[in-house]
Structure formats: C-alpha cells, structure tokens
Amino acid sequence: MTTQLPLCDVAVIGAGPAGLTAACELAEGGRDVVVLDEQAAPGGQIYKGVEKVFADRPQDIRFLGGEYAGGERLMHRFRQSGAKYRPGVSVWQITSDQEPELGLGLIENGSAQMLYPKHVILATGAMERPTPFEGWTLPGVMTVGAAQSLLKSSRLLPEDDVVLAGTGPLLYLYAAQLASFGIRPQAILDTRPSMSLRAVLLGVSALAACPKSMLKGMKWLWSVRVKMNMVRGVHSLKAQGEDHLRSVSYEVRGYRHKLSTSLLLVHDGVVPNTWLSMSAGIRHHFDSAQSCWVPDIHGAGSTSRKCISIIGDGARIGGASVAAMQGERVACEVDTYLRTQHCSTVATQSRALRRQRRLRRFLDCAFSPTADFQLPADETIVCRCEEVTAREIRQVAARGCMGPNQGKAFTRCGMGPCMGRKCALTVSQVMANAHGVPVDQIGHYRIRSPIRPITVGQFADMALVPGQDKKAS
Amino acid sequence: MFRPRTNLTDPVNFSFEGRRLTASRGDTIAAALLGSGVFIFRESAVSGIPRGPFCMIGNCYECFVQVGAMGVVQACLTEITEGMQISKVSNSIDESEMGIKEISKR
C-alpha cells in the first residue's frame, strides 16, 4: 500500500496577529501553509470574534476600541491569502528531534491524526499569569481575560456588582470597555504599588517612542479613575462563599474591607504560553524582567530546533503590533530555511520594533507582577487541579525537595488536567524563594506530550495516513 | 454574575441538568451556560468542591462538562448546538471518560 503522508510546507499554530501575519506572508509568496487554531474563528485572543462582531453587531465596534477594529483588515487579508485555515484543532504533540519526521499530533472533530509539515511556526500567544489567593477556585472568580473574551465572542456583560482586582493594562482596558457599555463595576481593587522613579523615567522614554499607545493607555487609566471606584494599595485579597462566590475581602493600610458580589475578575498581566514549545524540547530560560519563562530566540523567531520558529507573545510578551512585525520578519527566515535547510536569522530590527521595545520596558516596570500572587500565603491553593496549597510546597522544599519535578512525586502538584498551566510559575517561584536561589536554578516542570487531553480510544483509532482506517486494517 | 441577554437573534435550545435553556448560535457551551446564570459546572476530582469556568481560553480545564454522546469536553472550546444535553461532571470516576469502554467493546 502506498502511503501518502499529509504534508505541507509550513504549519502555523495559533491564529492571532503573529500567526496570521506569518501565514499571509508565506502563503502570498506561494508556500503551502496550514494554520491550526484551537478557536472556532481566526483572531487569537486580541481579535477574538472580530469577523462575527463586524457582521452581526457592528454597533459594538466603537465600544471595543480602535485596535480591535483593526483586526478586521488582517482577517480579510488572511482569508484572501491562500493559507488553509483549520479551526477547532488542538495540537497535542510535536514529535521530538529524535524522530525521523517532524510531525504534529492533532485532534480535529474528536479524532486524532498526524500532519507532517517541513517547518512549524509556533504562535501560541499568551495566557494570564496565575493569580493564586484564598478562595480563587470558587465558581464566580474568573480572570479579566475570560470576561473580555465572553464580551467579544458572546456579548456577555457583567452585572454592576462585579469587582475587578489586580493590575495590568488589560484590566484597565476592560474597565474602560465596560464604561463605554455603561457598566460601572462596584470596585476596582488595584494591587499596583505606587510608581517608582525608574518607571516614571521609562514612561517618559516610552511616551517619546510610542506616543499614540501611551496616550491611549493614559486615557483608559484616567477614565477608570474618574468614572469608577478605584481602590489603590490593595493586598491580601480573599474570595468567600460556600458553593460559589458571595463576597470579596481585602486589606488597605492595615484595615480589612468586605464587598458582597457574585463575580470577581482578577488579572496580573500575561505570560507566554510555552507548553508546546517546552514539550518540543526547545531551550527556555527565566526572563527576570518579565518574571516568566521564555524560549531562547535568535533572529526573528529561530529556536534551538531549526525546524521550529516561535513568534508573538509566545516568544516573549510584546503585544499585538510586535507580534505582527515578528510574523513578517519570520517569514523571510522560514522561506530561506525551506530553500536551503539552513538557518539564516534576520538580524536587523526596524525602528518601529525598537520603539515598541521602549514601550514594553515601561510596561514591564510599571505593571510588575503583584507580590501577593507570586508568593501566596500558606493556606492558598496553588495547584487548582490537585488542590495542593502553598504550605505543602514549602513543606516539601523544607524537606529538601529541590525542584518542581521532584515536588510532583511528593504532592501531585501540577499533575492534573491543566498540566501545570495554572501553577508552574507559582511553584517554581515559591521553591526558589524557599531555597533562596534564582528561579532559573529551580527550573520548570518537564512538559511532555500529549499536552492536550487525548483519550485512549482517540489514540487507538488514529489513522496515521488519511483514508487509512485503523479499525479496517 | 453576567447580565441575562435579551432578544437573542439566532437562538439555540439546549438543556443543563434537565433544565431547558436558550443561547445564541455560535456561543461556546461555557458562554451559553454563563449567559443563562449557570456558573457551577462540575465538582473537583479531588475534594468534590464546586468549580466553574476560570480562564475561557482552554488552559485551566475548570470548565469540563458532560455532553450527551460526546463525553467530557472543555466548555470554553466547544460550540453549543441545538438540542445539546449537558450535565455536571461529578467527582466519581467514570470509565467512559477515559475511552476505555469504547475499546473493550471491540
């Protein structure tokens, strides 16, 4: 039987600004490109549902903001580009560099299959930084990103009793969006410390580099401060309730306050989603400026595996404009690789990219992660899946456990269905703190495929080549 | 929680724990349930405490629900369809979730 492997030149994983721009550039240049997306429609998180909003409820566009509306042009270009779009596809495996073929394990419409591209571009974007605090597992506690996603894709708006807590540009953007829909949250519990001199100086530099973005951000912040009940200097956040959230309490200057609410939205910035890149055996390091793990990148997106590039927020948090610029730059690198099988990294950085770097340095400094969430109190659940508390992590560290992988054996921390996505960063930081060493030295969970749940049945039924039904053979 | 939506343009009927509910076409199961005032989706596998959606981008696995023949799915990544019968996931172990039953049937 002759076997025809499902091949393509380039598989792009993720359909946000980075992935779509790279796909457009390569497909327009005549490459056979497949875009794999877990979501039902292109846009990633930032442009989530943008085509649907334009088609079904254009009146909402102006409330969601100009940057969101700009996504529609990219969607239009992508639809014309000739790149194949496969929505609703989860990638559960990238074959290791020990395997003869570069292959991707996919789940589409409930069945598992393989795809064999010559090159893979990971554009898996960001996820929200874990925000562990007492009561954060209660139904009714969600992330700000989750609520914004519900607003974009389904026009779900919170009741007025909603409380927002934490820090980060997204929190203020969402609050400003709520204001434009006529919703005033009960309170915004701001955990950001007052701005340091360094942040102010970086702010001046960022204002000179990217005046438009800075002024836009200041406008959000200003509108939130003026129109809403914003409480500064909040710490020791707690969510309370029996079966679901009933109230939120917090401390300001030594006094504890309490608010009744059924919805608490938390945010503490975003970090790269590195689960695929780590499972592919690509080298990573801890980025101290952004307090998160990032893949080692050289050039526009080259990694320690020459057949895999990483761009966008999954490479390092840079925002949508940087992601799109990286998408453009990586296309040249990938095209050269496909022609010559050698890496030639794009070294030059455009002025626009250097300007964005100055903006990012300010944002990283001004919205640094909340201390309470980085090193949570003892009784706080760190691993939501296995319900392991910070106390248990500290106890095993005190007994000599040197890293998160050994910690799994003692506590099962990080071994639930989320595979550590919501606790890895916290566990590494808590252990590093307990041992008094840098996070880099403590390390990260070892991430192995399958990185998305796949049933034994799906695995057993997987057709290795299309048209070949394993059951019939 | 979230405001109930009125005047759904393209309604889809479904049920949760036997309750008949309505959502908008194109909603994910999670959006459909949250929009209908449901926010307890399952019991945790360890202690049985109630859980609901948290991240909405497929990473936290808090929004698992049981959907008729499909089995256990992530509600934030699965689109709602007409007539879908959804129920909570309890913390008792169900072999069908693992795909073991399908194999042993062969």
A42-57: per-residue pLDDT in tens? 999 999 999 999 998 8
Give A327-378 as a 3 state SS string.
Answer: HHHHHHHHHHHHHHCCCCCCCCCCHHHHHHHHHHHHHHHHCCCCHHHHCCCC
Tell whether A231 is within 8 A of chain B (Cβ): no
Tokens of A210: 């990217």
Tell whether B93 is within 8 A of chain A (Cβ): no
Tell whether B100 is within 8 A of chain A (Cβ): yes
Chain centroid to CA A45: 9
| Nearest to A18, CA basis, from A47, A51, A38 | A47
Question: In the predicted model, what is the mean pLDDT of chain A?
Answer: 93
**pLDDT at position A84:** 97
> Domain spans of chain A?
7-127+271-343, 130-268, 375-442
Could you report the predicted ipTM of this complex, rounded to two decimals? 0.91
> Which chain A residue is nearest to residue B98, measuring alpha carbons?
A455
Find the CB nearest A156 among B35, B54, B61.
Answer: B35
The stretches in chain A having pLDDT less than 70 are 1-4, 345-348, 464-473
Q: How far apart are CA B104 and CA B106, in angstroms?
A: 5
Q: How far apart are CA A260 and CA A244, in angstroms?
A: 12
CATH class of the domain comprising A375-442: mainly alpha
Residues on chain B touching A416 (C-beta within 8 angstroms): 45, 61
Whether B95 shows a pLDDT value over 70: the answer reads no
Residues on chain A touching B106 (C-beta within 8 angstroms): 471
> Domain spans of chain B?
11-91
**pLDDT at position A469:** 47
| Nearest to A57, CA basis, from A156, A178, A155 | A155
Please compute the mean of the pLDDT values over residues B28-52 and round it to a whole number.
95
Residues on chain B touching A141 (C-beta within 8 angstroms): 54
Chain B, window 34-73: residues with a beta carbon less than 8 angstroms from a chain A beta carbon: 34-35, 39-41, 44-47, 49-62, 64, 70-71
CATH class of the domain comprising A130-268: alpha beta
Q: How far apart are CA A34 and CA A13, in angstroms?
A: 9
**pLDDT at position A346:** 67
Beta bridge partners of A239: A248
Give the side-chain half-sphere CA count within 13 A for A413: 32
Whether B106 shows a pLDDT value over 70: the answer reads no
Q: How far apart are CA A272 and CA A118, in angstroms?
A: 24
pTM, two decimals, is 0.93
Torsion of CA A440, A445, A447, A453, to 10 degrees: -150
**pLDDT at position A473:** 37
**pLDDT at position A466:** 55
Could you list the beta-strand ranges (E) of A196-314.
230-231, 235-240, 247-252, 255-260, 264-268, 270-272, 284-287, 292-295, 308-310
Q: How far apart are CA A48 and CA A142, in angstroms?
A: 18
**Is CATH 3.50.50.60 the classification given to domain A7-127+271-343?**
yes
Tell whether B79 is within 8 A of chain A (Cβ): yes
**pLDDT at position A465:** 61
Tell whether A52 is within 8 A of chain B (Cβ): yes
Burial class, A265, CB count within 10 angstroms (exposed 0-12 / middle 13-18 / buried 19+) = buried
| Min Cα separation A342/chain B (Å) | 34
Q: Are A94 and A449 in contact (CB under 8 A)?
A: yes
Find the CB nearest A154 among B27, B41, B45.
Answer: B27
Fold type of domain B11-91: Ubiquitin-like (UB roll) (3.10.20)
Q: Are A11 and A105 in contact (CB under 8 A)?
A: no
| Min Cα separation B84/chain A (Å) | 16
Tell whether A415 is within 8 A of chain B (Cβ): no
Same fold, A7-127+271-343 and A130-268: yes
**pLDDT at position A138:** 98
**Would the CB atoms of A143 and B55 count as touching at under 8 Å?**
yes
**pLDDT at position B98:** 53
Q: How far apart are CA A125 and CA A18, in angstroms?
A: 8
**pLDDT at position A2:** 47
Q: How far apart are CA B15 and CA B85, in angstroms?
A: 5
**pLDDT at position B94:** 54
Number of other CB atoms surrounding residue A190 within 10 Å: 20
Q: How far apart are CA A35 and CA A27, in angstroms?
A: 11
Query: A163 Cβ partners below 8 Å, 6+ apart?
Result: A185, A186, A187, A188, A189, A248, A259, A261, A263, A264, A265
**pLDDT at position B93:** 57
Q: How far apart are CA A359 and CA A239, in angstroms?
A: 34
The widest CA-to-CA distance across chain B, in whole angstroms, is 48
